Amino acid sequence: MPRGPRQLAGRDVAARLGAALPAAVAGATDERVDIAALSIVEALRWLRDDAELDAAQLSNLCAVDRYDHFEVVYHLQSLDRNHQIVVHARVEDYLEPELPSCYPVYRGALLQEREVYDLMGVRFTGHPDLRRLFLWDGYPGFPLRKDFLQIGGHHPGLPGFPFETAGRQQR
Amino acid sequence: MSAALDPIRLRARLAPRTLARGVIAFAAFVALNVAIAALVVSGALDGEWYDFRDLGLGVQQLREWLDEQTADQPGWLTDILRSTTWLSYLVTALLGATGILSFVGGVLLVLIWVERRLIGRIQVRRGPNRVGPFGLLQPVADAIKLIQKETLIPVGADRVMFFLPPVLVFIPGLLVWAPVPWAPHMTYVDTNVGVLYLVAIGSLATLAIFMAGWSSNNHYALLGAMRTVAMMISYEIPLALSLLTVVVLTGSAQLSAIVEWQSVHNVWIVVLLPLTLFTFFFASTAELNRTPNDIAEAESEIVAGFHTEYSGMKFGLFYAVELGNAVAVSALTAALFLGGWSMFGLQEWVPAYLLFATKVAAVYFVLVWLRGTLPRFRLDQLMAFAWKYLIPLALLNLGVVAIEAALFRRWEGEGVVVLGGFALANGLLTVVAVRGWARFLGYAPEREPLLRPTLTTGVGGLRAVDRMRTTR
Amino acid sequence: MTTASDPYVLNIGPQHPSTHGVFRLRVVMDGEHLQDVDMVVGYLHRSMEKLAEERTYAQNIPFTDRTDYLAAMSNNLGYCLAAELLAGVEVPERASYLRVIFAELQRIASHSMANGTFINDAGAWQTPLMYMFREREKILDLFEMTCGARLTTNYMRIGGVAFEPPPEFYPAVDALVAELPDRIGEYTELLVDNEILLARARDVGVLSPADAINASITGPVLRASGVPWDLRKAEPYCAYDRFDFGIPVGHHGDCYDRFLVRLEEMRQSVRIIRQALDGLPSGAHKTEIPLALRPEPGEAYARVEGPRGELGFYVVSDGGPAPFRFHIRAPSLINLSLLREMAVGSSLPDAIVTLGSLDIVVGEIDR
């Protein structure tokens, strides 16, 4: 079951999308549709223009660092049909992450992609104005990456609760 | 519930201490008046100098006396004096300048407080009430603070040009007070070209303001200066036209004569020329940089306009001049349109300058009220308003009034009937011209009615938008 | 004859009366007309998303106060909904109602501020702002009464709300709800048909519905463009499906409509609060959740209709005590996507009014 109250099941969306664009779908779960990185723009455009799915608005765009690859998460929503679609795009290259920009499809991606680039370092090709948003040009590194502070021997995340003496999880 | 009826404030106002203070102040005022009356009645004075009404007369007498003195004694000094009479002018000018300076200074200190308290009241807060009784000393404290502050000069500023404007802007701010008729004979310079003088003095400050904006080496200051220049040049014209209308009607450019005219005919010019008052007042607010026309220092847009970079007492001078000009405009409005010191015979019983000061305060209150209430126009809207609206209407009004003035000269005898007719005709003209010209320029609020937001309960996207458009 | 001049570059901000915080607009001007607008943000960046990865789920609640500091309750609510969605926590009925009451009070406070500063940007010298602050003060007093803080409330908890409101809260909120419609009527009287405001805000910063949807614009700005989209109706969280209220929808999509929509939303919020107070159920104000909350690995995206738009919290768990990834969908930032299109070609005063009508909060833009 998808978690969001109005979220479409990822497998249904994947089935429809796969029928139209077979190369685009890389996988699906209940919650989300995984889309091949290179065909993300066509897939999003199809989702936006499809009469049934009608993903008119890019509600949220962010990226997750998975240690060896990045996931760029798109939360799409249809206002007329009142549902939500979650799309993931997997960016394999951890050192030089690149993804086509969805700005041609959703103009709302303008600042969100800049933010992702600024903090996570995913470079969106085809973005009209890909500059740092919050940090200044020449800032060393991308702070939201998990390895950002490892230089000083700092491990990301919280190992355990302070009162948990036994069974402390170490990653 | 209005702020005035707020029980907490009411209680504060009627506190025994406040009451006691009020009673003491009132008793002192009455005692002073009784003393003056006793002095007058006792005959200790010869009756020519019984209150401040004849202050102007005193200066005049002093000048005459000086002239006589210098004329009586032969010698090389007298020759120079007789040929130029400079001494008498110098002395009277110094007296006048001291008088104006001290008066304007005193008034400013009070009016800054008045304005801040009034705006505080308008904005449901209290305003300054800590320094001195009722916060009356707040402007003094501010002035001391401003004088103490370091004057910062921005890097790259033109130093000479940067230092001059506060002074340059202060001079016309004082000069404008010279022809103001406070009471019969109570005018520093009762020149017969008073209105012309006002127009000339009023446009002097533009130069200083542009100097300030340019020399600051600041983008906001330059923008503010450009706006000021554009606006002052535009609004000089309706201002001058409205002054001219008054001159044409009364047949004199002497301010005291204009007041005298209103006193003789027992009418205020505002009744006869409502459109002129509007033109004058609106153009004046534009010249004064006060809302709704304060675009030259529009805080939300260009920070502080031309005086962005000024600090300390230099800023204080700009600020003081701005307020002083507001009071001066109130005084001119009162003199030209509201009957000046005349009040349908009441001036025989009450010192005329008090009547005048009351009217000035009333007009000033309107200025403060506008400032506390209205949003601001945009620069292009204001320019369009001056050129497309105020100037044609002022010209039309001037033509009509010129005809009326000619008729009035012919039928001087039936003053009341003729003036009543003029008042009606001009009132009608105002309504018709304002509405008609607005229509002509394309103002039609009923063509595009104001739509309030509609309330829906269903959600949707573009299709819902289309649906709502079609059902509307 | 044409004359060319160097572009006149004006930095509006980071310190400027009408940027409402440390926000900078770099505009290229030709006279008073804007040829280019570029926004520079980040002066208030506190890397909240990174900080959240090293704090437990409960410890992150106070951070959410500090993003949109004018709508701390809405932020608390959004984050707690996300954490509850992720951990599968049920919220008691009473807590839902209390959440609605406080979120709507917060909306009124935030819209008061938004409208007040908007009119301030349009040039009215502080007066409407002071009027609206008067009501905002009372709402903040209610917050203080309940949770001890006025701005950074930290009131919602995962599984409910932190405290039961004190007994003196109810008469105070009743009095406020009773007087608010009159107060809003007062603003309407003072401002809504004001010719100068109409001249300044009508047909300025127009946003078509299609553009607004495509550019991810949400909240009052989207509704002013005519799109009836409100998450309280579309995806009713807490107990919003039980209340009777309407979504105000504008007709022109200009700054004036945004102002009107916010005013009307304040009225609707008053309606919601009244209903919620009437129907406030008894019971617990929160469920006990384990202190060591370790949600199952997965992700959740919960969103609420904040005062500025869709306020979303995207939380990813890897089974650890802290979120693996924590992202805030900041409506203030995303509503600025079309600022350039709206401002270029207009004049500087129009751009200022447009920016004021978008109602940005820099703490939320920068996070």
Neighbours of chain B (3+ CB pairs under 8 A): A, C
Question: Which of B123-132, B406-415, C272-281, C316-325 is the least confident region?
Answer: B406-415
Q: Is residue A81 in some structural domain? A: yes
Give the range of the structural domain holding residue A76, as residue numbers without chain letter.
Answer: 10-150
Same domain, B371 and B249: yes
Residue B167: pLDDT above 50?
A: yes
pLDDT at A170: 45
Q: Is residue A156 in some structural domain? A: no
Q: Do B375 and C356 touch (CB under 8 A)?
A: no
User: What token pair was written down for C288?
Assistant: 């006990």
pLDDT tens for each residue of A25-50 = 888 888 888 888 888 888 888 888 88
pLDDT at B217: 84
Q: At what angle do helices B194-202 and B204-215 cross, to 10 degrees?
A: 10
Fill in the amino acid letter for A7. Q
What average pLDDT score do residues C300-317 get?
Answer: 90
Contact indicator for A130, A114 with CB cutoff of 8 Å: yes
What average pLDDT score do residues A86-109 get?
Answer: 88
pLDDT tens for each residue of B93-151 = 777 777 777 877 787 788 888 888 888 888 888 888 888 788 888 888 888 888 888 88
pLDDT at C19: 77
Q: Considering only CB atoms, which chain C residues are within 8 Å of A107?
A: 211, 214-216, 337-338
How does C306-317 read in b/e, with b if 16+ C-beta sit within 10 Å? bbbbbbbbbbbb
What average pLDDT score do residues B221-232 get?
Answer: 86
pLDDT at B27: 93
Q: Is residue A4 in some structural domain? A: no
Global model pTM greater than 0.95: no
Residue C102: pLDDT above 80?
A: yes
**For chain B, how many structural domains are there in total?**
2
pLDDT at C269: 92
What average pLDDT score do residues B417-441 get?
Answer: 83
Q: pLDDT-derived band of residue B51, with 50, 70 and 90 as boundaries?
A: very low
Closest Cα in chain A, distance from residue C194 (Å): 34
Integer Cα distance of C113 and A151 in angstroms: 44
User: What token pair was written down for C265?
Assistant: 């939303």
Q: pLDDT-derived band of residue B451, with 50, 70 and 90 as boundaries?
A: confident
Closest residue of chain B to A51, computed from CA coordinates: B463
Backbone angles phi, psi at B281, to 5 degrees: -70, -45
Q: Considering only CB atoms, which chain B residues are within 8 Å of A56?
A: 461-462
Does B461 touch chain C if contact means CB atoms closer than 8 Å? yes
Share of chain B above pLDDT 90, in %: 3
Helices of type H across B43-85: 55-72, 76-84
List the end-to-end C-alpha distance of chain A, in Å, as a whole number: 29
Question: Which of B165-179, B296-310, C231-245, C247-261 is the least confident region?
Answer: B296-310
Top residue of A45, A48, A54, A57 to mutate, by most chain C CBs within 10 Å, is: A57
User: What token pair was written down for C7?
Assistant: 């572009």
Q: Is residue A100 in some structural domain? A: yes
Q: Is residue A171 in some structural domain? A: no
Does B462 touch chain A if contact means CB atoms closer than 8 Å? yes
Same domain, B34 and B168: no
Q: How many Cα atoms sit within 13 Å of C342 on the Cβ side?
A: 31
Same domain, B202 and B342: yes
Q: Considering only CB atoms, which chain C residues are within 8 Å of A161?
A: 56, 291-292, 321
What average pLDDT score do residues A64-83 get?
Answer: 88
Residue A82: pLDDT above 70?
A: yes
- The interface predicted TM-score (ipTM) is 0.85
Same domain, B313 and B177: yes
Q: Considering only CB atoms, which chain A residues are within 8 Å of C41?
A: 133-134
Closest residue of chain C to A171, computed from CA coordinates: C320
Q: Considering only CB atoms, which chain C residues are within 8 Å of B455?
A: 246-249, 264, 268
Q: Do B462 and A78 touch (CB under 8 A)?
A: no
More confident residue, B449 or C92: C92
Question: For residue A20, what is the domain's CATH number?
Answer: 3.30.460.80
pLDDT tens for each residue of B374-395 = 888 888 888 888 888 889 989 9
More confident residue, B63 or B272: B272
Three-class secondary structure of residue C9 per DSSP: strand
pLDDT at C105: 92
Q: Is residue B131 in some structural domain? A: no
Q: Considering only CB atoms, which chain B residues are within 8 Å of A6?
A: none
Q: Which of residues 88-147 of A touch B (CB under 8 A)?
A: none
pLDDT tens for each residue of C66-88 = 888 888 899 999 999 998 888 88
* Residues in chain C, total: 367
Q: Considering only CB atoms, which chain A residues are within 8 Å of C56?
A: 158, 161
What average pLDDT score do residues B181-191 get?
Answer: 75
Q: Specify which of A14-23, C10-19, C347-356 reaches the highest per-range mean pLDDT.
A: C347-356
Same domain, B36 and B167: no
Closest CA to B222 of C25, C18, C10: C10
Integer Cα distance of B286 and B270 in angstroms: 20
Q: Do B123 and C199 touch (CB under 8 A)?
A: no
Residue B4: pLDDT above 50?
A: no
Q: Do C216 and A57 touch (CB under 8 A)?
A: yes
Q: Do A134 and C329 touch (CB under 8 A)?
A: no
Closest CA to B323 of B159, B87, B105, B70: B105
Closest Cα in chain A, distance from residue B464 (Å): 7
Question: Which of A55-59, C158-162, C292-296, C321-325 is the least confident region?
Answer: C292-296
Closest Cα in chain A, distance from residue C122 (Å): 27
Does B457 touch chain A if contact means CB atoms closer than 8 Å? no
Closest residue of chain A to B464, computed from CA coordinates: A80
In chain C, the domains with their CATH numbers are 58-366 (1.10.645.10)
Q: pLDDT-derived band of residue C47, with 50, 70 and 90 as boundaries?
A: confident
Q: Is residue A168 in some structural domain? A: no
Does B463 touch chain C if contact means CB atoms closer than 8 Å? no
Q: Do C121 and B300 touch (CB under 8 A)?
A: yes
More confident residue, C203 or A164: C203
Does A79 touch chain B if contact means CB atoms closer than 8 Å? yes
CA angle C338, C344, C350 (to 5 degrees): 95
Integer Cα distance of B327 and B233 in angstroms: 21
Q: pLDDT-derived band of residue B50, with 50, 70 and 90 as boundaries?
A: very low
Residue C1: pLDDT above 90?
A: no
By DSSP bridging, strand A83-91 and strand A33-35 are parallel
Q: Considering only CB atoms, which chain A residues are within 8 Å of B462?
A: 56, 79-80
Does A52 touch chain B if contact means CB atoms closer than 8 Å? no
Does B420 touch chain C if contact means CB atoms closer than 8 Å? no
More confident residue, A99 or B302: A99
What average pLDDT score do residues C219-228 get?
Answer: 90
Please give the mean pLDDT across all residues of chain C: 87
Give the range of the structural domain holding residue B41, as residue numbers without chain letter.
Answer: 1-47
Top residue of C29, C127, C186 to mutate, by most chain B CBs within 10 Å, is: C127
More confident residue, A62 or B73: A62
User: What token pair was written down for A110?
Assistant: 């303008």
Q: Is residue A157 in some structural domain? A: no
Backbone angles phi, psi at C335, to 5 degrees: -70, -15
What average pLDDT score do residues B1-17 get?
Answer: 55
Residue B426: pLDDT above 90?
A: no
Q: How many Cα atoms sit within 13 Å of A105 on the Cβ side?
A: 24
Q: Is residue B98 in some structural domain? A: no
Residue B12: pLDDT above 80?
A: no
Closest Cα in chain C, distance from residue A56 (Å): 7
- When CB atoms are compared, the residue of C234, C292, C337 closest to A111 is C337
Q: Is residue A165 in some structural domain? A: no
The helix or strand, by DSSP H or E, that contains position B454, with its residue range, turns out to be strand B454-456
Please give the mean pLDDT across all residues of chain A: 82
- When CB atoms are compared, the residue of C190, C197, C248 closest to B455 is C248
pLDDT at B414: 66
Alpha-carbon distances, residue A110 vs C301, C337, C361 (angstroms): 21, 6, 19
- When CB atoms are compared, the residue of A4, A157, A164 closest to C301 is A4
Q: Is residue B116 in some structural domain? A: no
Residue B9: pLDDT above 60?
A: no
Q: Do B457 and C247 touch (CB under 8 A)?
A: yes
Same domain, B18 and B166: no
**For chain A, how many structural domains are there in total?**
1
Neighbours of chain A (3+ CB pairs under 8 A): B, C
Q: Is the dihedral of CA B61, B63, B64, B65 positive or negative?
A: positive
What average pLDDT score do residues A73-97 get?
Answer: 88
